[in-house]
Amino acid sequence: MFFDSHCHLTAEQFDVDRDAVIQRAVDAGVTRLLTLATDVESSRAVIALAEKFDVVFCAIGIHPESVRDSSLDDLILIRELAKHPKVAAIGEIGLDFYWDKTTADAQQTFFETQLELAAELNLPVVIHDRDAHEKILGTLREMRELKELRGVLHAFSGDEAMAREAFDLGYVISFGGPITFKNNKRAPDLLRALPLEKILIETDSPYLTPHPFRGKRNEPLHVRYVAERIAEVKNLSIEQVAAQTTSNAKKLFRVM
Ligand code: NI
């Protein structure tokens, strides 16, 4: 039913009960989980986890926050690891100027190189964008001639104009816990304005926990609250939102 398009199942927050967390999600109707890597080490780890569970697929790559501790040679390994059949995307990649602006140039290099790698491997990308809307869109615009490039802007925090430009460039967007926050005044109008066919749902667990569990560790089974919020705002049933967003994710990612 639900496709959690973005979670970090290999995060240490799940070390005590990882298998139980996945089982709870399955029991709650989560039929696919995409777990994201942030560096070479976690790329190996997400592949190992995806080998263990049928419902788990993975994305591998170097996250902007990991750029400082990575080398471009790591991408040779990522390219090799990406041949694994449970690797459904390259990610997460992107730019994060909130966390660290001093590595901006290196982040840009890793971002572009990984976009090229994804195009070469014909895999979609999962993009992290924090305080970097202009640079992200500009880069995707410049690289639009790579026809194989497609992907998702995860935990989307832009406005309607940005979403529409992303759609034009062949990308979809994904929403998580923050749309359930009562103080998120922007989300309802944005969700109403955008077509469900271009939207994925995610938890980003263990982070970005939705209302009413805000402050606690997030888990993939909470993806239901994200779907519920979209259903409420767009006046649809939760089943409709689950079915469409799952279909969108299956269309994008290399998942069997
Ligand atoms: Ni993430």
Full set of structural domains in the chain with CATH: 2-253 (3.20.20.140)
- The pTM assigned to this predicted structure is 0.97
23, 58, 154 from 125: Cα distances, Å: 27, 11, 10
Q: How far is the CA of 6 from the centre of ligand 1 (A)?
A: 6
CA gap 109, 97 in Å, rounded? 14
Q: Report pLDDT for 94.
A: 98
| H/E segment holding residue 94 | strand 87-96
Pick the closest to residue 199 from 173, 176, 222, 223 (CA basis): 173
Position 100 scores a pLDDT of 83
Whether a cis peptide bond, with omega within 30° of 0, leads into 212 is yes
Cα(125)–Cα(225) distance, integer angstroms: 25
Give residue 36 CA to ligand 1 midpoint distance, Å: 6
The 10s digit of each residue's pLDDT in 130-184 is: 999 999 999 999 999 999 999 999 999 999 999 999 999 999 999 999 999 999 9
140 C-alpha to center of ligand 1: Å? 19
Centre of ligand 1 to C-alpha 138, Å, is 21
- Which segments in the chain show pLDDT lower than 50? none
Q: 47, 83 in Cβ contact below 8 A?
A: no
| pLDDT given at position 256 | 72
Q: How far apart are CA 62 and CA 94, in angstroms?
A: 9
Cα 29 to ligand 1 centroid, rounded to whole Å:
22
Which phi and psi angles does 208 have, rounded to 5°? 50, 45
> How many angstroms separate the alpha carbon of residue 1 from the centre of ligand 1?
22
Ligand 1 centroid–CA 35 distance in Å is 9
Query: From the CA of 161, how far away is ligand 1's center (Å)?
Result: 23
